Amino acid sequence: MAGRTVGLLVVAAGGPGVLHETTGVIARHQGDITLVEILERGPEVDRLYFEVELPGDPERLIEELEATSVVRSVVAVQPFQRIYGKRIIIMGGGAQVGQVAIGAISEADRHNIRGEHISVDTIPLVGESDLAEAVRAVARLPRARAIVLAGALMGGDIERAVREVREQGLLVVSLNMAGSVPDAANFVVTDPVQAGVMAVMAVADTARFQSDRLKRRVF
């Protein structure tokens, strides 16, 4: 039976061994760590963030963490999934990214009012190598569900990166552009505002839209 996921903001003494000691305590409480980030690292203080699935109440875990020699304080917070939810990543040329963002943000607002949690991230970026690296990196981002590639010309290594992340379960939406990326994407949308809308609809639980049931790929 799945437990409750809790976020833990840990302030600890700086130096080696902090992760070893804190994760050991979490393991003793049968906590399943689903996310860990080092927010700040210094000679005096480390700030760590964990998301942990626990079978019971987090209070005992927090007490034991604070009792260790390295931890100064622990605060329980809402996990990122509860606050920011699923992430849509828009990348490419600045003008096109901005137009896609208009559609994505407007549509996300409509679903978030109904109880969803969908956030939109943008990065204006040009160059085959930089874009290919950025596409591959999305697969490493927590909670990322979809990429929208917004530009006038994309292909080569970007296309290979698109095929790689699709195999890892990411949805890829492409603007109708020159190059081979549109051939590799899940679907292609000519209007950038509509591309943002459709990307959000594809990941929203409160939408009836299902990208894998589309009879067309180009819109």
Tens digit of pLDDT for each residue in 22-35?
999 999 999 999 99
Tally of CB atoms within 10 A around 22: 23
Which of residues 205 and 138 earns the better pLDDT score?
138
pLDDT for residue 164 is more than 90: yes
User: Alpha carbon 2 to chain centroid distance?
Assistant: 22
CATH number of 84-213: 3.40.50.10550
Q: Is domain 4-81 in CATH 3.30.470.20, yes or no?
A: no
pLDDT for residue 183 is more than 80: yes
Q: Kindly give the interhelix angle for 128-138 and 157-167, rounded to the nearest 10 degrees.
A: 0
- What is the Cα–Cα distance from 30 to 206, expressed in whole angstroms? 33
pLDDT for residue 210 is more than 80: no
Break the chain into its structural domains and give their ranges. 4-81, 84-213
- What is the Cα–Cα distance from 118 to 73, expressed in whole angstroms? 31
